[in-house]
Amino acid sequence: NAGVTQTPKFQVLKTGQSMTLQCAQDMNHNSMYWYRQDPGMGLRLIYYSASEGTTDKGEVPNGYNVSRLNKREFSLRLESAAPSQTSVYFCASRPDLNQRQYFGPGTRLTVL
Amino acid sequence: QKEVEQNSGPLSVPEGAIASLNCTYSDRGSQSFFWYRQYSGKSPELIMFIYSNGDKEDGRFTAQLNKASQYVSLLIRDSQPSDSATYLCAGTNSGNTPLVFGKGTRLSVIA
């Protein structure tokens, strides 16, 4: 039982490049989330998926797209990376209402 | 805009003392609250959750919830240097909505 896994752990991009951050969970959770964390800003929700086949915008969705590929996987795509997207990205999953969220180890992204 | 507010700190306490971390929230519909600990460079890990008014104790940790005052707190007794971390408060309402996180309070326990 690996919990929530994220790939890659580190990534450096040039402005304008695209990439996809991968997230998978093996706990059969319905809900999955993508957050970014910047110094002094706490965790800000980018997108979430309450169930397979649905996605919703969070607080800071601009510049990102997501895909809930199946119940296990939820990917985050940057179509044209910008330096403002330099951040640590966390994926999380949650089994049901009012339950704790489980976090992945994070992806540290730098956009030059 | 639903908000969860925390003092960013740093909060410095001597080893063995009680650390008191506080959080207020704006959404009166919030029902469930969570305290996460995050070490530098690591992901958040859950240490306490509370749904009902009053106190909930787990080892050295006590979570307190006052829904009338929209206030949540976390007490850490017998603080240890290993407790030095950022503590994130989060809340959610009873629907299938994501957690709203505060910006976190940085705690430093001085040996």
CB contact under 8 Å between A43 and B44, yes or no, is yes
pLDDT at B96 over 80: no
Distance CA B91, CA B100 (A): 5
Quickly state the pLDDT bin for B94 (edges 50, 70, 90): low
Nearest-by-Cβ selection for A41 from B45, B49, B103: B103
What gap in Å lies between CA A104 and CA A107, rounded to an integer? 9
What's the rounded Cα separation, in Å, for the pair B29 and A40? 26
Question: Is the CB of residue A85 less than 8 Å from the CB of residue A63?
Answer: yes
Contact between residue B37 and residue B45 where contact means Cβ atoms under 8 Å apart? yes
Residue of B nearest to A93 (CA): B98
How many Å lie between the alpha carbon of A4 and the closest alpha carbon of chain B?
Answer: 11
pLDDT of the residue at B1: 66
The minimal CB distance from A45 to the residues B45, B96, B98 is found for B98
Q: Provide the 10 A C-beta neighbour count for residue B57.
A: 12
Which ranges of chain A have pLDDT less than 70?
A: 97-98
- Computed on alpha carbons and rounded to an integer, the radius of gyration of chain B in Å comes to 13
Confidence of residue B27 (pLDDT cuts 50, 70, 90): confident
Between chains, do B44 and A90 touch, taking CB under 8 Å as contact?
A: yes
pLDDT on residue B106? 95
Q: Does B110 touch chain A (CB under 8 A)?
A: no
